[in-house]
Structure formats: structure tokens, C-alpha cells
Chain A
Amino acid sequence: MSWSFLLRRLLLAIPTLFGVAAIVFVLLRVVPGDPIAMLIGPGATDADIAELRRLYGLDESIALQFVYYLQDLAGGNFGTSISMRQDVMELVLGRLPVTIELCLVAMSVAIALGGAMALAGAYWRGRAGEAAVDGAAGFVLAIPDFLWALLFVLFVVVFALDGLPISGRIGHDVGFRGATGFLLIESLVRLRFDAFGSVLLHTVLPAFALALPLAAIIARVLKASIAEAMTQDYVLMARVKGFSRARIVCREALRNALVPTVTLTGVQFTFLVGGTVLVEKIFSYPGIGNMAIDAVINRDLPLIQGLVLTFAVLFIAVNLLVDMSYALLNPRMRHG
């Protein structure tokens, strides 16, 4: 994979980000509600209100506000949150590692689960095993991550599975304060296995809720790609050589089925990132998704803008990762 490929992709992201910033900015300025109204106490005078408006730049025209906003963005200044009265960049960066770790765990679960289902379906092709895999994938796919999350909460409560936490990210009794937000990685590096276990347990349910729909898609696409690969000459060759069916499916066919699978499931990875908004809310998981809903409810314009941009950056990053893995898996793309 060449550097120019990476650079070109990064440059392409700039107009997309600009578009997202512009649409969200304009959308939020036509809000009928007044964000200042939440800030003022009952005794505030008109002068106080005017002062606050000036402070947050809400007294200028929309076009001028947008120009100032872009200038600030270019200088790395995302503004100040109205409801929390803190720097937006600081707030977002404090929560971002939580969501990134959750997404990485969810993606790993989806790949492992979907891959296992696809291999099982391909191995038992035309038998009950394949029908079971197809049925499971269809059922899982019909229910969105939001409802899976709620179903998990219900299961835990109804069957009293007290070992599985349904809110928060780490147990209160675990005295572990990370220097970074990446608790899962940091606790492992610092050999705090109790903290690692606690964070992992808190992550299991939200990660599975996010992972299930993606796992079902991966299972379907990968299974179809393996079936396609199984009709190729080199598979026949491997059969003639006397390799076992398991070896042919896992070694020969799988390797060639990966490229179409990555291409076809790529966009689904961004859906997983978008799903964190609700899933984090349901599990009171302290990431940026949870923060986004609170920001919308509080009409915290700078924070909403910052978070939507952050999500757009995450989407672009995921797409880039998918394209890069595509290039890595397909030798013909390496020197593109």
C-alpha cells in the first residue's frame, strides 16, 4: 500500500468533513429553542442575556458565525460546551477512548462470530448445519442493535445474571483510575487484571448488541464468497491432492473469500459506530454516543457540533481502515 494512496484518501475526507460541519451548523441555527434560556437564572437582566449571547457568539449573523466557527476549527478550537461550561475538545477527547475501545471489542466479536458462522455454514453446505446458520443470521439481522441491547438488559434482570453488569464501564469497588481513557488496554499494560476483568465484563453486553447485526452480515457474505471460491479450479486441485474438507474450507477457500467480504461488509462497520449512540445510552456507558444524546436534549450547540464532527471523523477512519485492509488482503491492490 502506497503512501500516496493514504494521502489521497485523507485529502478526500476534507470536503466531506466540511459538508458535515456546514449542514449541522445551519441545521442547528434554525432551532426554535434558545440555548441561552437554559443558562440564565431567574434574576437575569436583559443585559446579562445580551452578554451571554455575545460570549457564545450567538449575536452575529449565521454566515458570520459559520466563518468564525471554521476559523476556530482550523485553529483546533471546537468552542465551549454551553451545558457543561468546558472546552468541547477536552470533553470529547475525554470520552472518545471509551467509544473507540467499545467499537474495537464489538468489531472483534462480530468478526469472530460472523467468521465462525460462515465457516460452519460452508463446512456443512447443503445440510442442517447450513440451514441453522442461515436461519440464525436472518433472525439476528431482523432485530436492530437497539432492541438487542434492551433484550440483553431484560435477560440479565429476568434471569438474575448478577455477574453481568448492565450499566457503567467499571465497577465502583475497583479502585482504578486510568491515566488515559483506554481503560481496557491500560489496565492490561499495568497488570491490573481485576480492573481489566471489570471493564471487560461491563463491555460484554453493549459490544454483543453492537456486534450481532454485523456478525450476521459477515456470516452471510463470507459464506456466499466461500461457496463461490469452492467452485474454483484450485479447490478441485486441493481435493485431488487429498486435503481434508476442513483444510480446504479454512485454508484455500477462506483466503480467497476475504476480499469480497471486506468490500461488501465495509459500510456495515460504520453502522456499528453509529449504533453506539443508543447502545451506550441504554447501558449508561460513558462514551461519546451517550454524551451526544445528552447534548441534543440540552440543546448544547457547540457540543453537538463537536460530537457530530467526531462521529464523521470516526466514519471516515473506519472506511479508511476497511480500504486499507482491502488493499492488504488483495495483492493486486498493493501497488495501486
Chain B
Amino acid sequence: MAEAAAVPGGPLPHARESAVRRLLGNPRVVLGGAVLLFFALAAVFAPLLAPHDPVEQDLMLQYIPPAWSDRAEPGYLFGTDNLGRDILSRLLYGAQIALFVAVAAAAAAGLLGTVLGLLAGYLGGWVDAVISRLVEVWMAFPAVLLSIVLVAVMGTGLHSVIIAIAVIDWTRFCRVVRAETMAQKQQDYVASAVTVGLGRMHILWREILPNVLPLLIVLFTLEMGIAVIVEAILSYVNLSLASDFPTWGTMIADGRKYVNQAPWLMILPILCVIALVLALNALGDGLKDALDPVMRK
């Protein structure tokens, strides 16, 4: 990987080709990617696919069980909830929110953690000492409690959820990127770049960063899984979005309240969260195997 990226203009064509083949040959990448694609399509086409308005209430249609029950109504495949809202439609729009938060929060946490990790790993000295100490103090906080307090402070809303996840989880990126940067710094291509007389920042952003990128993709995928869970948690304690907005966490929270009358309210949103999280984990682990040159040997 290091040799390939040191060539100006990026990896050679045959290297790129074999990387694609390696990815497609990994069952975890294929399976995780397929499930992720399924949810992404559901999210993108939610307005077309949803049979009903996800927030429309109709008290005449309360607690319709799903299609496999004998009291089911046609047109409501997965039934309705305590306010007569269509569960399938809510799940589809919920996928939009889950994936949006996952991508945005993982990107924000990744950006913050990567910049600090690169600087700490490459510059060393007091910069490294300050950043590493900060990471240690940060990780001493109970994450769930901190996220709940943060959102309570910032007020509910998607932006608060995204900021809270970024503020808490940048440490994951920072620690790994710092260690990887320190390892890359020892490589020959960095020594060559220094000899050629390239600036420190140039070496960091243009030489080292591209070599840390495969690792970042893996971390990003795993962080998306964490973000999906945190969003569900915050929705569950009613701190993510207004409760009539269809998020999986809100649906789970409603389901928990009425679990004795209507257990199906909870089953599908929980299964969606688990399926998406398992898919992202599998994809991340598979990518790690496929992209990591050390693991490949």
C-alpha cells in the first residue's frame, strides 16, 4: 500500500483492480454492503414506497396487527401503532433519519478525530502530550450519560444528536489514527519526502493521509453503526426529535410503552436497528481484512 501510493498519481491500474476483486471476494463485505444498500434504497425511495403518511394519525385505525395476523387489515402490511400510524411508512422514513445521522455523525467525529490524531502522531512532543491527555480524560466519562447531558444542554434536534456523537466519539478515530500515523512516519517514503525537501504539512496531508485512508474507511463504517445505536438511544429517551417524527428509537420507545397490548410495535424497529448495525459491523470488519496489507499476508 505504501509503495503504491508513493507513486505520483495514485495506485497503478492493476492494483486498483485487484483491490476491487478482493473486496468482492470477501463475504462479509458483500453481505454487509447488500444490507446497507437495501436500507439506503429504502431511505432514498421512502416517499415513493411508503403507502401512507408516516405521521398521519387516525384513531379509528389504532393497533392494527401485521399482515400475518388474522385481525390484519389490507394496506397495512406491518400494522399500525397506538395512534393509528402506518408502521411500514414510519420504518421507511426512519431509515432516512438513521442513515443521515449515521453518515453525518461519523463524518463529523472522523474529521475531528483524524485531524487531531494526524497532528498528534506526526508532530509528537507537546502537541501529542496535550491531545493524548485530552483523549484520556474524555474516555473517563460515561458515554451514554454524557450524550444525554449534551443533548439536554443543546436542545433536541438532529443537529444536537450529530454534534453529541461527534463530541463523544472523536477519541476512537484520534487514538487509531495517531498510532497509524506514528507507524507511517517510520516508513521509507516519508524519509524520501523529507529528503526531497517537502514541507511538514505537505507530507502530512498529501503523503501520510492517503495511506491512513483505508483505516479511516473501516473506522467510518464502524462509527456509522455506533451512531445508529446512539440515535436510537437518544430517541428512546425522547431527546432526539419531536416524538411524532418517525425515528426507529421513538418507535421502540412507543412500543415499550404499549408492549403488552401490541408487541409488534417494537419488533420491527428493533430488527431494523440490529440488521443495520450488524451489516455495518460486518462491512467494517470485512473491509479491515480486505484493505489491511498486514492482515492480507
Contacts and interface: CB of A to CB of B under 8 A. Distances in A.
Given A24-B149, A297-B237, A142 B256 contact: no
Interface of A is mostly: helix
Given A30-B153, A150-B256, A150-B266, A311 B140 contact: no
Given A19-B137, A153-B259, A296-B152, A274 B143 contact: yes
B145 A277 contact: yes
Contacts of A27: 149-150, 153
Contacts of B263: 154, 157-158
A274 B149 contact: no
19 contacts: A20-B140, A23-B141, A27-B150, A146-B232, A146-B233, A147-B273, A150-B252, A150-B266, A151-B270, A166-B259, A273-B142, A277-B142, A277-B145, A278-B236, A296-B148, A297-B152, A307-B145, A308-B149, A315-B140
A20 B141 CA distance: 8
A253 to B, nearest CB: 28
A263 interface: no
A126 interface: no
Given A146-B233, A275-B144, A277-B144, A282 B281 contact: no
Contacts of B131: none
B142 A315 contact: yes
Nearest to A23: B141
A278 B149 CA distance: 13
A304 B237 contact: no
Nearest to A149: B256
Contacts, number: 97
A273 B140 CA distance: 12
A73 B209 CA distance: 47
Contacts of A164: none
Interface in B117-169: 137, 140-145, 148-150, 152-153, 155
A10 to B, nearest CB: 16
Contacts of B152: 31, 296-297, 299
B144 A274 contact: yes
A144 B260 CA distance: 24
A28 B278 contact: no
Given A274-B143, A278-B236, 9 more contacts: A19-B137, A24-B149, A143-B277, A146-B233, A147-B229, A153-B259, A281-B236, A297-B239, A312-B142
B145 A311 contact: yes
A91 interface: no
B238 interface: yes
B242 interface: no
A32 interface: yes
Interface in B261-284: 263, 266-267, 270, 273-274, 277-278, 281
Contact of A282 (B145, B150, B256): B256
A157 B153 CA distance: 36
Nearest to A30: B153
Most B-side CB within 10 Å, residue of A24, A273, A296, A308: A296
Given A147-B229, A154-B263, A278-B233, A293 B278 contact: no
Contact of A154 (B144, B153, B259): B259
Nearest to A143: B274
A165 B277 CA distance: 28
B153 A31 contact: yes
A202 to B, nearest CB: 17
Contacts of A315: 140, 142
Nearest to B152: A296
Nearest to A150: B270
Interface in A239-274: 270, 273-274
A143 B274 CA distance: 7
Contacts of B252: 150
Most B-side CB within 10 Å, residue of A28, A293, A297: A293
A292 B152 CA distance: 12
A277 B274 CA distance: 20
Contacts of B142: 270, 273-274, 277, 308, 311-312, 315
Contact of A281 (B237, B260, B277): B237
Given A278-B144, A296-B149, A147 B281 contact: no
B67 to A, nearest CB: 17
A16 interface: yes
Interface in A1-51: 16, 19-20, 23-24, 27-28, 30-33
Nearest to B238: A297
B141 A157 contact: no
B195 to A, nearest CB: 41
A63 B256 CA distance: 42
Contacts of A28: 149, 153
A126 to B, nearest CB: 21
Contacts of A304: 149
B258 to A, nearest CB: 10
B171 to A, nearest CB: 13
Contacts of B277: 142-143, 147
A162 B259 CA distance: 13
A146 B149 CA distance: 18
A16 B140 contact: yes
